[in-house]
Amino acid sequence: MKKIIESLSSLPKWYVFFIVLIYALLTAEFIALLSDLCLEYGMQISGLVETFMQISYVIIILSCIFIWIILSLLYHFMAILFDGKADFKDFLQIASYPFALPAIAIVIAILLLDHVEIREYEGIRQFMEQSKSYQQAIGILNYSFIPYYLLVACIIHYLYNLKWLYALLSVAIPVVSIYAVTELFKLVM
């Protein structure tokens, strides 16, 4: 595995941005598909909302790139706290390749939702609760991040020369912390 990581770090830098950009574009397409499903149900939108939806496409792409950098930075800081030794730019480059797994999952989710007839349901909530295609698509997306996190932990293990426990904790602590904060905000609101 160490040789794979070394070979990934020797690949041209534009591969990194290509993978993250593909992931970001697919994420924006998936969210646009969900928005189109909501609009198909008969939601009326104004010109201002339509403009906002077009701007949000670009914002989603930029957000995905920003998330890649921030998550990589959090993983890097945790690995450094566990006495790992590696450069952030090396980790940032290699940490982009596992994004191929969620990107594949997004393609599958888009294909699952592409031919869904939302008018069969009484509302958006019923669609989300009863549509097998929607539930499968969201399940595939959510579960695709498990191998992503495991691959990132593997990269941290070999790149930072950490024990497996510390590599797993370098990924788990930021992820669990982010999840806990979002759940806290749900309770507050």
Find the mean pLDDT for residues 127-141: 87
If one counts every other C-beta atom within 10 angstroms of the C-beta of residue 129, the result is: 11
Q: Is the pLDDT of residue 44 over 70?
A: no
User: pLDDT band at 107, cuts 50/70/90?
Assistant: very high
* Residue percentage of the chain with pLDDT more than 90: 53
Q: What's the pTM?
A: 0.84
Find the mean pLDDT for residues 126-138: 84
Question: What is the average pLDDT value for the chain, to the nearest integer?
Answer: 86
Residues 24 and 66: beta-carbon distance below 8 Å: no
Helix (H) or strand (E) holding 123: none
CA atoms within 13 A on the CB side of 147: 13
Find the mean pLDDT for residues 74-78: 95
51 to each of 55, 62, 95, 97, how far by Cα in Å?
Answer: 6, 17, 34, 33
Q: Is the pLDDT of residue 16 over 70?
A: yes
CA distance 125 to 152: 35
CA distance 143 to 138: 9
Q: Which of 161, 189, 185, 179 lies closest to 79 in space, CA to CA?
A: 161
Instruction: Name the CA dihedral angle for 87, 91, 94, 96, rounded to a multiple of 10 degrees.
Output: -140
Q: Is the pLDDT of residue 46 over 70?
A: no
**Three-state SS across 29-41?**
HHHHHHHHHHHHC
Structure token pair of residue 27: 């994420």
DSSP 42-66: T----HHHHHHHHHHHHHHHHHHHH
